[in-house]
Copies of this chain bind each other. A is one copy, B any other.
Amino acid sequence: MIITVQMVLNCLIEPVGHLEPTVDTLKSGRLNGEVRKVAVVFMATYAVIKQAVESGVDLILTHEPTYYNHKDEVDWLAGDPVYERKRRLIEESGISIFRLHDYVHTYKPDGILVGMLKKLEWESYAKPGEMNLLSFPPDEQHTVRTIVTHLKNKLGIDNMLVAGDLEMPVRRFGLMPGASGGRSHINYFERTDIDLLIVGETNEWETNEYVRDAADMGLSKALIVTGHQISEEAGMLTVVEMVREAFPDLQVDLIASPLAVKNI
């Protein structure tokens, strides 16, 4: 049986039905193109696309955009040497690229969140029905610092940003991978009365300043910012598993990337 791009996408769209509007569109390639090998990635970087093309991948499923903006608008990039070279690589290779962002976050529960909970071995701490709200059992003692250490070990990173007191005990906390925005973070603090929120990325003048103020008021609030990529990349393993299960004959692998920036 020939497997097409459309068939793989149908499998990924099926759990929620068609979303409209959505940024999850085919960025290149053809819906009726044949697929034998799939690469699942956090970001379709130039290096990732090159590696995928060279290893015979037909379809890339990427969580984040290809062209440096959420909607993958390209008019403003016309003539830019980085954009033009990337576009040429993609077009000449004929590879299909589909963004899988809104769908995977709309799964119940959120596919990225589930993948990250697995990676962090925190599934048992998550509240059923609201899995980004976590609680430690009464016999476990944790502080912001012990959680930082756990995140470093499990995610393989050397540093992260922290607001609040590192020695503060943590009982209830939130896990919000990605960059859902200041209002989303702050409303979550208010609604759930958590001690600690772990996020991927913030705008500095929003969540960071809210938690700074809270801590300076003596409230038990802290924030960990891990970086966006590291907060979601392992979550895409959910997608790897889905496609492998639906299409056992396909070769499906996650291509992880180094971080775009180094902490110097």
Contacts and interface: CB of A to CB of B under 8 A. Distances in A.
Interface of A: 43, 45-47, 50, 64-65, 68-70, 76-77, 79-82, 85-86, 145, 148, 159-163, 166, 179, 182-183, 186-187, 189-190, 201, 203-214, 216-217, 219, 221, 223, 225, 227-229, 260-264
A213 to B, nearest CB: 4
B159 A263 contact: yes
A80 B192 CA distance: 11
Q: Give the 10 A-B CB pairs with smallest separation, nearest first.
A: A161-B261, A212-B260, A46-B213, A208-B260, A204-B228, A47-B216, A80-B190, A82-B214, A68-B210, A163-B261
Contacts of A159: 159, 263-264
Given A161-B263, A261-B225, A206 B46 contact: no
Given A82-B217, A161-B264, A201 B201 contact: no
Looking at A47, A81, A166, A260, the one whose CB has the most chain B CB atoms below 10 A away is A260
